[in-house]
């Protein structure tokens, strides 16, 4: 079961939540269920409001790298994702550092999610 720790200057304390086994919702939906206010707008990978930084707690873990096409486009536009990072994600399962919370499906991995509370900024 993944542990997800949310951290942000907009929160008074970090918060760790345990995603329900078999939960296949987005990271944004997990945050909302736990009253963690990651900024968002479209919820469809088009506006870039929900950009987050994701770090693995264990260096031995591989992270889900299923970037959606919309996610790739928006993150590249924001200069938060390079072609090399896309190749690393798709070929070597090496996680990129930034994701869109509304597109990111959490796998069984322990992660730290950082956001700064401003729409479109991680
Ligand atoms: Fe618009 Fe995620 S809410 S891209």
Give the pLDDT confidence score for residue 99 in this predicted structure: 95
Residue 20: which pLDDT band, with cuts at 50, 70 and 90? confident
Query: Would you list the domain boundaries of the chain?
Result: 3-114
CA of 101 to the centre of ligand 1 (A): 7
Determine contact, residues 30/23, Cβ cutoff 8 Å. yes
Q: CATH number of the domain at 3-114, out of 3.30.1490.20, 3.40.640.10, 3.10.20.30, 3.40.50.300? A: 3.10.20.30
40 lines ligand 1 (CB under 6 A): yes
Specify whether the CB–CB gap between 39 and 115 falls below 8 A: yes
In terms of Cα–Cα distance, which of 12, 16, 14 is closest to 4?
Answer: 16
Give yes or no for residue 83 having a pLDDT over 90. yes
Does the beta carbon of 95 lie inside 6 Å of ligand 1? Answer: no
Mutate to test the pocket of ligand 1, among 26, 71, 100, 105 (most ligand atoms within 8 A of CB): 100
- DSSP notation for 3-35: EEEEE-TTSSS-EEEEPPTT--SBHHHHHHHTT
* Cβ pair 51, 98 in contact under 8 A: yes
* Candidate from 43, 52, 118 with most ligand 1 atoms within 8 A of CB, to mutate: 43
Residue where the block lists tokens 């206010």: 37
Identify the pLDDT of residue 28. 96
CA distance linking residue 106 with residue 94, whole number of Å: 15
Pair of tokens at residue 51: 């950009």
In what side-by-side order are the strands of the sheet with 15-18?
A: 15-18, 3-7, 111-114, 51-56, 98-100
Give the pLDDT confidence of 39-82 residue by residue, as tens digits: 999 999 999 999 999 998 876 666 556 889 999 999 999 999 99
């Amino acid at each position: 079961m993944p542990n997800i720790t949310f951290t942000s200057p907009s929160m008074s304390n970090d918060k760790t939540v345990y995603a329900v086994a078999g939960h296949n919702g987005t990271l944004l939906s997990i945050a909302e269920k736990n009253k963690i206010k990651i900024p968002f707008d479209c919820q469809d990978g088009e506006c870039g409001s929900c950009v987050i930084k994701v770090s693995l707690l264990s260096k031995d873990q591989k992270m889900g790298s299923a970037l959606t096409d919309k996610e790739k486009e928006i993150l590249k536009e924001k200069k938060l994702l390079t072609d090399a990072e896309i190749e690393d994600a798709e070929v070597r399962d090496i996680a990129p550092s930034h994701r869109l919370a509304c597109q990111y499906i959490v796998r069984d991995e322990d992660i730290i999610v950082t956001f700064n509370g401003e729409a479109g900024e991680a």
